[in-house]
Structure 1
Amino acid sequence: MAGTPVVLSPSSLLVVAVIALVFAPSVRYRAPGLGTGSTYVVALVVGLLLLLSVLVHELAHGLTARARGLQVREYALTLVGGHTAFHGRITPLTEGVVAVVGPVANLALAGVFWVVAQGVDPFGLPALVLFAAAYSNAFVGLFNLVPGLPLDGGMVLESIVWGATGDRRRGSLVAGWVGRVFAVGFAAWVILLPMLRGGRPDLWAVAWAAIVGAFLWSGASEAIKGARAGRAVDALHVGAVGTRAVGVPATAVLAEADAARGRAGADAVVLLAPDGRPAAYVDPQAANAVAAADRARVPLTAVAVTLPAGAVVDADLRGPELVRAVAATAQFSPVVAAVRDGQVVALVRSADVAAALRS
C-alpha cells in the first residue's frame, strides 16, 4: 500500500470464517428463505467487511505515521486484529496522534455504514450487513480507545504520561498496569454479569472473554516487562559494568604496572601503543602467576591479551548508546577499553553488559 507491503496472515482468514459462523444464525433468522450456501455467503461478507475495517484502521496508523516523518515497514492483519510496523524518531505527540487515528477511523466507518443503512429497507439483508458493520466498527473503535496497553488508547495514555514527565518508561508502566486492570475487569464483566442477573454465562461469551482477556493481559505484561528492561538499559554506565583501569606504556614491566595500578586505584591495566592507542590488556591470571621477585623484569607483553583496532568506546556513553557501542565491538573483541579525554578509565566486557541486562 503506497509502497508498503500488506501482510495477510492465515489466522486473519480464520477470524473471518469464525465471524461468518457466528453471524450465520442472524442471517438465517432475518431471511429464512435463503439457502444454506447463500446464508453463509452473506455472513462471510460481514466477516470480510470487518477485515477491511481492520485494514483501514492500520492504514490510518501508517499514513499518519508517514505524515509525521516515520518510515512504515508493513501493515499486518493477524488473529488478534493487526499491527503497523514503523520506525524513526518518535515524540510523545507523534505517538499519541498515530495511536488515536486508528480507532477514530473505525468510528468514522461506523458512521458511514450507519448512514448508508438508513437508505435501504430496514428489514432486508443489506440493512443487516450494514448495521452489523456499523456496530462492529463502533465496538472496535471504542474498545481500542480504552487507555491501557496494548490497545491504542494505552499508547495515547503512554504518550500523555511521557509528555508530562519526560519519561517514556513511566508512561509504559502506567499504561501497562491500566491494561492489566482492564483485562481482568473485562473478563470478569463478561462472566460475572449474567450471574449477577440470576443467569449463567454463555459458553461462547466465556471463551471470548478468556481469549480477549488473555490477549490484553499478555500485551500489558509485555509492555511492563519492556519498560522495566528499558529502565535497566537506561541506567547502564561504564562505572556500573566496567572494571576500573589505568593505561601504561606497552614497554613497561609488571612491577611498573603494579605501581601505576596502585596509584590510580585501578583493578585492570591497559597497554598503550606509542601513539596512545589501547593495544592490549593484562590478563589477571597470567599476571598473578608471576612471582614477586620476577615482576621487575617480566614485560607486560608477556602477560597481555591483544585488543583489536577499534576495541574502544567512549567512557561517557550511557544506556542504549553504551549497549549499542559494546555490541558493535563484541563482534571482533569481547573486551573493550573505555576512554575519556584520551585517557583509559575502564575495561568493559560484553559478557558483563549482558549479565547486567539479564539481572
Structure 2
Amino acid sequence: MDDSGDSGRPQPGAGGTAPGTDPDSGKPKRPAEPGGGLLMGRPFGVPVYVAPSWFVVAALITWVFGGQLDRVLPELGGARYLVALFFAIAFYASVLVHELAHTVAALRYKLPVRRIQLQFFGGVSEIEKESETPGREFVLAFVGPLLSLVLGGVFYGAMQLVEPGTVPGVLLAGLMISNLIVAAFNLLPGLPLDGGRMLRAVVWKITGKPMSGTIAAAWVGRGLAVTVLIGLPLLTHTGALGGSAQDIGGVETVMDALLAAILAGIIWTGAGNSLRMARLREHLPDLRARTLTRRAVPVESATPLSEALRRANEAGARALVVVDGQGNPKGVVREAAIVGVPEHRRPWVAVSGRAQDRTDGMKGPAELAGEAVLDRLKASLATEYLV
C-alpha cells in the first residue's frame, strides 16, 4: 500500500503488492466472475452456478431411482430413466429453493451473497459477512430447513390429488421424502449444517461470545462426521434403513461405506473450516492498513525514471507514487515495471509510462482496520493501494 496522506498530497509512506497481477504488463488482471460451474441465472441479483460434480450425482440419482421405478412401475421400460432424470432435476430445484431462502434472509439483513452453487451433496449459499446478532444468525440458518419442510408438505398435499402407483404419484412421493430428509439432515446440530449454525446462535446468545458458539458447533459437527462414518454403514448392514440384511451384497456394502466416508469428510472439513474462519475473524481487529504499508515517494509524471529512483533511494523508499501538478496521486510504479527498463534507458523514460492508474476504490485512509480492510481489498482487486 502507498500512503497518499491526509491532505491529498502524497507523503513518504509505504507500498506493497497483492495477488492478481499480469506478469507481462505489470497491470492488475481483471477480477474473475465468481464462478464454479455453469451459470444458470441471477435470482435476486445473486449468480446461481451448477458445479460439474452435480452432473455426477444427477447421473447417480437417475440410475438409482430408475432401478427403483423398475420395481414399482415395470411397464415404463427404458422410459423410467427419463422419469428418474426429471426427479433428479426437480430434487435439485428444491435444493435451490432451500438455498434461496438463506439468500433472501441474508439480503434482508444487508449481508452480501457472493453466489449460490449446486454441487455433489446439495447446495451452498456463500454469504460474505457474519450476522451481527445471534437472533439473525438463528433465523438465517433456520429458513432453509423450514422451506424444505414446507416443500415436503406441498408435495404431500399434491400427492392427495393424483392416483397412487402412477408416475406423478411416485415422483411426488419421492420429492416429499427427499425434502423431508434434506430438512432433517440440515437440522442436525453441527457445523457446517444449518442446525450447527442454529446451535452456534444459541451458544452465542447464552455466552455472549460468537467464538464460543462456533467452537461448540464445530466440535459437535466433527462428532457427527464420526457418527456418519461409522453409523451409516452399520445401519444399512443391519437393515435398519429398510430391507433385509441378507439382501445386502458386497457391492452395496462398499458403496455405503464410500458414501459414508465422503459425507463424513465433507462434514468434518466444513466444521474445521468454520472453526478456522472464526479464529481468523477473531484476530481481524488487529489487522490495520497502516501496518501493511511500506515507504513511498511522490514524483510528477514527467520525472525521468532514473531521477525518481534516485529520490526513492535517498528516502529509503521502495515505491513511487505518480502525482499531478497539484500533488494529487494518479498512479503507482511497480518494481516489476522498473526492472523491465534497462538501466541505460531510464534517464529517457518518464515515470508516467510505467505507472498503473489508481481508481477511487484503490485509495483509502490509513486508519482502516479489521474487516473494513478486507472489504476494501475485495471491492477493488489491485496490486497496490494508496492509503
- Please confirm whether the aligned pair reaches a TM-score higher than 0.5, indicating the same fold: yes
Q: 1:69 to 1:323 in 2, by over 3 A?
A: closer
Gaps of 5+ in 1: 243-277, 281-301, 337-359
2:281 match: secondary structure: helix
Tell whether 2:226 aligns with 1:166: no
Change (3 A) 1:236 1:183: same
Shift of residue 10, structure 1, vs aligned partner:
2.4
Any idea what SS the aligned residue of 1:34 has?
A: helix
Q: 1:86 to 1:311 in 2, by over 3 A?
A: closer
Gaps of 5+ in 2: 1-42, 240-244, 298-312, 322-362
Q: 1:68 to 1:234 in 2, by over 3 A?
A: closer
Cα distance in 2 for partners of 1:15, 1:127 equals: 23
Give 1:340's aligned residue: none
Partner residue in 1 for 2:255 = 204
Q: 1:1-359 alignment to 2 at 5 Å?
A: 1-36=43-78, 38-87=79-128, 90-91=131-132, 92-194=134-236, 202-234=253-285, 305-306=316-317, 331=384
- The corresponding residue for 1:298 is none
Contact 2:53 2:120 in 1 (8 A): yes
Write the deviation string for residues 64-86 of structure 1: whole angstroms up to 9, x where unpaired: 22222333332221222112233
Distance 1:236 1:89, change over 3 A: closer
Q: Which has the higher strand share?
A: 1
In structure 1, give the amino acid aligned to 2:158.
V
Q: AA paired with 2:76? A: L
Mapped to 2, the partners of 1:311 and 1:73 lie a distance apart of 23
Query: Contact 2:73–2:165 at 8 Å: present in 1 too?
Result: no
Aligned-pair distance for 1:229? Answer: 3.3
| Letter matched to residue 277 of structure 2 | G
Tell me how far apart the structure 1 counterparts of residues 236 and 179 of structure 2 sit (CA, whole Å): 25
Distance change in 2, residues 1:65/1:313 (3 Å): closer
Shift of 1:102: 0.6
What letter is aligned with 2:85?
L
User: Could you tell me whether the CA contact under 8 Å between 1:154 and 1:179 is conserved in 2?
Assistant: yes
> One-letter code of the match for 1:305?
G
- The answer to whether the Cα contact below 8 Å between 1:149 and 1:155 also exists between their aligned partners in 2 is yes
Q: Is the 8 A contact 2:141 2:198 kept in 1?
A: yes
Displacement of 1:233: 4.3
Q: Residues 117 and 130 of structure 1 are in contact (CA less than 8 Å); yes or no, is this contact kept in structure 2? A: yes
The separation in 2 between residues aligned to 1:194 and 1:83, in whole angstroms, is 28
Q: Do 1:313 and 1:326's aligned partners in 2 also have CA atoms closer than 8 Å?
A: no
Cα distance per residue 1:28-70 (max 9 Å; x no partner): 111112221x010111111111110111001111112222233
Of residues 317-326 and 58-67 in structure 1, the stretch that sits farther from structure 2 once superposed is 317-326
Quote the Cα distance in structure 2 between the aligned partners of 1:173 and 1:194.
Answer: 31
Q: Please list the CA deviations of residues 79-127 of structure 1 after superposition, one character each: whole Å capped at 9, or x if unmatched.
A: 2211223345722222221111011111111111112112222222221
Provide, for residues 10-36 of structure 1, a one-character-per-residue CA deviation record: whole Å limited to 9, x for no partner: 222322211111111110111112221
Residue 57 to residue 204, structure 1, CA distance change in 2 (3 Å): same
* TM-score with structure 2 setting the length: 0.61
**One-letter amino acid of the counterpart of residue 158, structure 1:** R
Aligned residues: 274
| SS of residue in 2 equivalent to 1:2 | helix
Q: Please, what is the CA RMSD of the aligned residues?
A: 3.6
Given that 2:226 and 2:264 are in contact with CA atoms closer than 8 Å, whether structure 1 keeps it comes out as yes
CA distance in 1 between partners of 2:74 and 2:65 (Å): 14
Tell me which structure has the larger Cα radius of gyration.
1
Deviation at 1:210, TM superposition (A): 1.1
Contact 1:103 1:142 in 2 (8 A): yes
Identity fraction in percent: 34
Q: Distance in 2 between matches of 1:307 and 1:34?
A: 74
Q: Specify the alignment match of 1:354 in structure 2.
A: none
CA contact (8 A) 1:147 1:153 kept: yes
- Indicate the structure whose relative CO is greater, using CA pairs within 8 Å and at least 6 residues apart: 2
Letter in 2 for 1:58: E
Please list the CA deviations of residues 154-178 of structure 1 after superposition, one character each: whole Å capped at 9, or x if unmatched.
1111222223333222221111111
CA distance in 2, matches of 1:98, 1:117: 30
Cα deviation, residue 207, structure 1: 1.7
